[in-house]
Structure formats: structure tokens, C-alpha cells
Structure 1
Amino acid sequence: MPVPVLYHPDLKVVVASLCGALVWGLNQRYFDRKKQSVAFVISFVMGILGADVTLEVVNIIFPGVFSGERAIGAFLCSALIITLVTGLIHRISLLQNNQVKEK
């Protein structure tokens, strides 16, 4: 594990990030086991690192709903970052398949 994860002062953020990664892991059907474990780790670490940014974005969209609770930002970031990456990978593979069919 990276050092920021092991010695993170806010345990709520770590647990919320873990929950977000688990929610994504239970609902995904796109990756095989090896890729799923890598995506899980990426989701978990990004949830911890991106908690503040995600909370700021959510507060811009929905002002005053989540008042400074970093754990909510960690959960949302952890669940959404890998969903966005998976969607991007899927779209790129569709574009590559379309280009191969055109040739």
C-alpha cells in the first residue's frame, strides 16, 4: 500500500473510499479478475486522494447539501472515478473496432 493510505489521519475517509471501491467491484462486469483487482486498488487510492476535490465539485453542483464531510467525497470519488475510466476504455475500444471495420 502507498504510504499516504497506511498513515492517513482520517480513518473515515479510508473506510468510505474502501466502501466506494467495493460498491464498484460488486457491480462491475467489464474486467476479468486481474484487471478487476488493479481497478479496485486504483479506485481505493483515488478515493482517498480525491476526496476534497470531489466534495468541492459536489458542493458547487448541490450547494449546502454536504457540509464538509470528507468521507462523502471519498466514497463518491472512489465509486465514480473508476466508472468514468471504465466508460472511457469502453468508448476507446468501440472506436478502435469501428476503425478496423472501415479498413
Structure 2
Amino acid sequence: MITAICEFDFSVITASFSGALCFIINARCFNKKQKRVAFFISFSMGFIGADVSLDIINSLVPAINTEERALGAFVCSALIITVFIRIKSLVDGTFTKK
């Protein structure tokens, strides 16, 4: 019998939700439908990318060196859409120059 163990870390969920809300409140370049999509992407990526962003934070700022996944979830969900938009504009800029 296969059992799936699904362990929810509510601090990570709350931090991801908070980071997504911070981004949506400050985002002025989206309409209502785009804000909903951006919120969903930001929230889900904060939950998924918590460990990766925590590793990046620990390598960039070694004085922090924490294992708190909630910090990674908050930073990831607050910044993922902005990073994606910046990368998209860089890629679009290089394609239009050629």
C-alpha cells in the first residue's frame, strides 16, 4: 500500500501569502485580472521555491545563515514576478537588437 505523506508547513504558507500580498499591493503595472494571476504565481512559487531562495539568501548574506524556510518563502514570493519581468525585458531587448 502506497501512502502519500503530505506535511504542510503553515509558517511557509503564511510567509508565501504575505510576500504575494506585499507584491500585489505595490504592483501598479497590472490590471485586476493580471493581479490575480500574478498573485497566484507569486504565492505558489513562494511555497515551491522557499528552499532555493533560502540557499541564495544564506550564500549572499552569510551572517544570517538560518534554516527558517518561511524567510525564503517570503522573499521568493515577493520578488519572483519582478525577477521574471526583468529577465523577460532583457531577453526581449536582446532579440530586438538583432
After TM superposition, the score normalised by the length of structure 1 is 0.77
Q: How does 1:25-40 map to 2 (within 5 A)?
A: 25-40=24-39
Counterparts in 2 of 1:57 and 1:24: CA distance versus 1, 3 Å: same
From the superposition, tell whether residues 77 and 86 of structure 1 become closer, same or farther in structure 2 (CA, over 3 Å).
Answer: same
**Structure 1 range deviating more: 28-37 or 46-55:** 28-37
Superposed, 1:58-97 pairs within 5 Å as: 58-91=57-90, 95=93
Give the C-alpha shift of residue 34 in structure 1.
Answer: 0.7
**Partner Cα separation in structure 2 for residue 30 and residue 87 of structure 1:** 13
Where does structure 2 lack aligned partners over 5 or more consecutive residues? 1-5
Query: Do the aligned partners of residues 8 and 86 (structure 1) sit closer, same or farther apart at CA in structure 2, a change above 3 Å counting?
Result: farther
Match for residue 41 of structure 1? 40
Q: Is the 8 A contact 1:44 1:78 kept in 2?
A: yes
1:18-69 CA distance string (max 9 Å, x none): 0000000000111111111101100000000000000001101111404100
- Matched length: 92
Q: 5+ unaligned residues in a row in structure 1: which ranges?
A: 1-6
Determine whether 1:56 maps to 2:37. Answer: no
Aligned with 1:72: secondary structure? helix
TM-score (norm 2): 0.81
